[in-house]
Amino acid sequence: MNKVSDEEIRYLFNKIKNRTLNKGSVQNFPSRKGQKFLKRIQPLLAHIANTDYLSSSDEEIIMIEKEMNDFISKSTNQTDNAKVLYYQAHMFFTLQEYEKAIWANEEIKEKAVTRFEILGALYSLSQLYFFEGNFLRAKQNILLWLKLSDHWGVETGEEGRILFSEIDGALSN
């Protein structure tokens, strides 16, 4: 089965398209507690990104992941949670732990409240599934990304079409 069904894309599109909050809503912003937490972990994540010998089994990675998970479990602010999940996904991508990065982006896709969080997660998912060799899921996410971008009037640029053609080419082989 090399085809992503239109019904599947339509279902996901309808599920997501009206979920976002009003533009500029106070609920779209991270809380002060969330901002402090993100500010505190940014240097740790920069260290991870600039260190090539770390793996997800290292103690400092385990501690950061635990802190992030604890924050998410206690926070009621969806924007805070989406931002922490984004950082978590980036951390796992940097460590080449693609399954964990996929999990974090799937969580963002399900829980995000802003259009840009959703679009970012969909684009990342299409890349991650492509890296993993799951071309059908990659195509599903990039098609949904293109459709939502068009629906919301977000300029996609050329990179989305390039990624789509790469995924489509991989499926054709």
Query: pTM for this structure?
Result: 0.81
Closest CA to 135 of 82, 173, 109: 173
Total domains present in the chain: 1
pLDDT at 124 over 90: yes
Residue 112 lies in a domain: yes
What is the extent of the structural domain holding 103?
A: 1-9+58-160+167-173
Give me the pLDDT at residue 160, please. 83
In one-letter notation, the amino acid at residue 31 is: S
Residue 18 lies in a domain: no
What CATH code is carried by the domain that includes residue 64? 1.25.40.10
Residue 35 lies in a domain: no
Question: In this structure, what are the phi and psi dihedrals at residue 6, rounded to the nearest 5 degrees?
Answer: -65, -35
Residue 88 lies in a domain: yes
CB 122 within 8 A of CB 145: yes
Question: What span, in angstroms and rounded, lies between the C-alpha atoms of 102 and 126?
Answer: 9
The pLDDT tens digits of the residues spanning 45-102 come to 888 888 877 776 788 888 999 999 999 999 888 888 999 999 999 999 988 899 999 9
Q: For residue 145, what is the DSSP state?
A: H
Residue 64 lies in a domain: yes
In one-letter notation, the amino acid at residue 2 is: N
Residue 27 lies in a domain: no
Residue 98 lies in a domain: yes
CB 136 within 8 A of CB 171: yes
Residue 93 lies in a domain: yes
Identify the residue whose tokens are 């982006």: 105
CB 101 within 8 A of CB 124: yes
